[in-house]
Amino acid sequence: GLGFNIVGGTDQQYICNDSSIYVSRIKKDGAAYLDGRLQEGDKILAVNGKDLKDLRHKDAVELFRNAGYDVSLKIQRRLQPQNGPVGHQSDGESGGLPLATILVPGLALAATAVWILLRYRQRM
């Protein structure tokens, strides 16, 4: 295989009102992982020159399975986080926000609180 999973399609929209095909997971040590260019969340526009627009999920999967050894992907990077999947989750992934989206601001807030506390204690 190519070493990644996809979500989306006209019958399984990953993002509301968008039937595009997206990379949901890159398998460690798979072809895509070793190549390093593809990222989770990338929108795949075409495979070997074949447009993926308005395809059902299973038809997109079939295109990838029959892509051959040398595969050319036309992709679009996801510029900002999107809401999670709509409805069906085929490979057990959870929807919602990435953990870093919650942890990073929380850690920044905690660090600021500690700094303020230390500054306050120095004045006493």
C-alpha to C-alpha distance for 102 and 48, rounded to whole angstroms: 38
Summarised one tens digit per residue, pLDDT across range 17-39 is 999 999 999 999 899 999 999 99
Name the DSSP letter for residue 66.
Answer: T
Whole-number pLDDT of residue 43: 95
Between CA 6 and CA 75 the distance in angstroms is 13
Q: How far apart are CA 1 and CA 66, in angstroms?
A: 10
pLDDT at 89 exceeding the cut of 50: no
Model confidence pLDDT, tens digit, residues 51-87: 999 999 999 999 999 988 888 999 999 765 556 555 4
- As a whole number of angstroms, the distance between CA 5 and CA 24 comes to 5
The two tokens of residue 76 are 């679009």
Q: What confidence score (pLDDT) does residue 114 get? A: 76
pTM of the full predicted structure? 0.62
Taking the C-alpha atoms of residue 9 and residue 57, their distance in angstroms, rounded to an integer, is 4
**Residue 103: pLDDT band by 50, 70, 90 thresholds?**
low
Residue ranges of domains in the chain, CATH in brackets: 4-76 (2.30.42.10)
